[in-house]
Amino acid sequence: MPVPRVPGRSGRLQDIPVPGQKRVLLAAPRGYCAGVDRAVVAVEKALERYGAPVYVRKQIVHNIHVVTELESKGAVFVEEVDEVPEGAHVVFSAHGVSPAVVSAASDRGLQAIDATCPLVTKVHREAVRFARDDFEILLIGHDGHEEVEGTAGEAPDHVTVVNSPEDADAVEVRDPSKVVWLSQTTLSVDETMETVRRLRERFPQLSDPPSDDICYATQNRQVAIKKVARDADLVIVVGSANSSNSVRLVEVALEHGAKAAYRVDYADEVKQEWLEGVETVGVTSGASVPEVLVKEVLADLAGAGYRDVEEVRTAEEDLMFSLPKELRQSPSGQRDSRGLGGRGRA
């Protein structure tokens, strides 16, 4: 699908000739997903409703630009709820929190707004249910990631974190007949399935979650970049270093044919040497990245001669999530009318 030529930002990157025609393959879907949109709007609405400061435990989403923008509006990001003044408003991030964090916030009299992505909440509920049935839960994910900490905190005595396919070869369980796997929502689909395959070789009675835990947006962005990567000399992924799904996009691009792939937070991180001899540049962004950052990358690339942009679309997204219950109505009782979660998104 062709898109209009993008005007370049002159001066930073040079337009150096290459053997063939310069072009950009722009992956779609890319950028904001429904859960991220909901979480960011929740902080904005809380600031409108209650005034600054509104405290947020951890980064609301893993993107430095989004966090900086919200800080400029009065959001204060903290590591733990004990840093929040008693009685203040605190927003829980899209990655979710454990029951222990909810309890700690309540003990301090904090007015909590839960912006956990509903797809993460689904995994939490699965963990609770399987623990109640005395299953051992093998949670595929990255130890120390906020989402994994939150999910594991729902059933700490029943959860073992499996970080990689290699970890699957060493994990031990109490009862191989009562074991189930769950996963972090932002993983590489291919690597997760390899981990499950290895686990099932060792534990043939391994149970599956009732539905796929890796979120639709993570999967869609990986499918799109796979299609782009096979024709790309270079792939640029816009996203922050602590964004698991953004980091995975770089890995997926390299695994599926891209000659080189890099992650950047901002356009000015794109290096001239990356473009040497490059005819086709693939561009995408992680699920917590606003589209303005992608447009800036496209503008810089246009300044370097990459003005022809073709969108490579592999799926449509129109999922929407309602705001946290505390923010669904205005102070006058009117239902909030702001659309959330994917409409008009790439």
Catalytic residue, candidates 44, 147, 154, 317: 147
Q: Specify whether the CB–CB gap between 235 and 260 falls below 8 A.
A: yes
- Is 185 labeled as ligand-binding? yes
Q: Is 220 annotated as a binding residue?
A: no
Q: Do the Cβ atoms of 306 and 49 come closer than 8 Å? A: no
At 128, list the tokens. 């609770």
Helix/strand/coil (H/E/C) assignment for every residue in 92-114: ECCCCCCHHHHHHHHHCCCEEEE
List helix spans (H) across the chain. Answer: 34-50, 64-73, 99-107, 118-132, 146-152, 165-168, 189-202, 216-229, 244-255, 291-303
Q: Is residue 63 a known part of a binding site?
A: no
CA distance 100 to 86: 17
3-state secondary structure of 238: strand
Using left for φ > 0, alpha for ψ between -120 and 50, and beta otherwise, residue 235 falls in: beta
Question: Could you identify the residue written with the tokens 């930073």?
Answer: 12
Both tokens of 272, joined, read 């001239």
**145 has binding-site annotation:** yes
Q: Which residues contact 183 (CB under 8 A, 6 or more apart)?
A: 123, 139, 140, 141, 192, 209, 213, 214
95 known member of a binding site: yes
- Residue 65 marked as a ligand binder: no
Match 């992680």 to its residue by tokens: 286
Q: Is 191 a catalytic residue?
A: no
> Going by C-beta distance under 8 Å and a sequence separation of 6 or more, which residues neighbour residue 257?
229, 230, 231, 232
Residue 117 annotated as binding site: yes
∠ Cα 214 190 24 (to 5°): 90
Distance between CA atoms of 230 and 220, rounded to whole angstroms?
A: 16
How does 67-80 read in b/e, with b if 16+ C-beta sit within 10 Å?
Answer: bebbeeeebbbeee
- What are the percentages of helix, strand and coil residues in the chain, rounded to 5? 35, 20, 45
- Binding residues for [4Fe-4S] cluster are 33, 117, 215
- Binding residues for isopentenyl diphosphate are 62, 95, 145, 243-245, 288
- Binding residues are 33, 62, 95, 117, 145, 185, 215, 243-245, 288
- Binding residues for dimethylallyl diphosphate are 62, 95, 145, 243-245, 288
Query: Which residues are designated catalytic?
Result: 147
